[in-house]
Amino acid sequence: MLNLDAGVLNETQTCPAVGYQSASICVPVTVTPFAQTGVTTTKCCGNPVVTPGRDICGGVRNGSCFFTITQDICVSVPVEFGAVAAVGDSFVNCTGVSDTDICTDCGSILPPAESVVPGI
């Protein structure tokens, strides 16, 4: 009995080929700027003033102070482009069958010439 590895019988043989497609790819990119604060630093300017009794504090209750900082920026946006490919239905033109090895030298066999009928 012939002992063949079952894995060898199930392997699909292929002939690799490569096709190339040039393309211009476009993708909309939205750049949304943001600003976040770093660690704030507090420096005491002079000594604290301690006032006896209940003093009315000036200013806005639970208020804030405002100022504006303007900074021009330039943003580098790395984008990776890629593509997936799908193939359509395959077509076959069967040209010959044999019980002998016709594949070993298949690159050297010329295709049959088309029949030409004189006068047509």
What's the pLDDT tens digit per position in 52-93? 888 888 888 999 999 998 888 888 888 888 888 888 888 888
Instruction: Give the pLDDT confidence score for residue 4 in this predicted structure.
Output: 52
- pLDDT over threshold 70, residue 115: no
Average pLDDT over residues 5-27: 71
Confidence at 47, pLDDT banded by 50, 70, 90: very high
Confidence at 41, pLDDT banded by 50, 70, 90: very high
Coil, helix or strand for 117?
coil
- pLDDT over threshold 70, residue 114: no
Report the chain's mean pLDDT, rounded to a whole number. Answer: 79
Cα–Cα dist 51/14, whole Å: 92
Cα–Cα dist 101/113, whole Å: 22
Average pLDDT over residues 16-30: 77
Cα–Cα dist 12/10, whole Å: 6
Q: How distant, in Å, are the alpha carbons of 16, 27, 79, 85 from that of 20? A: 14, 21, 22, 11
Average pLDDT over residues 18-27: 74
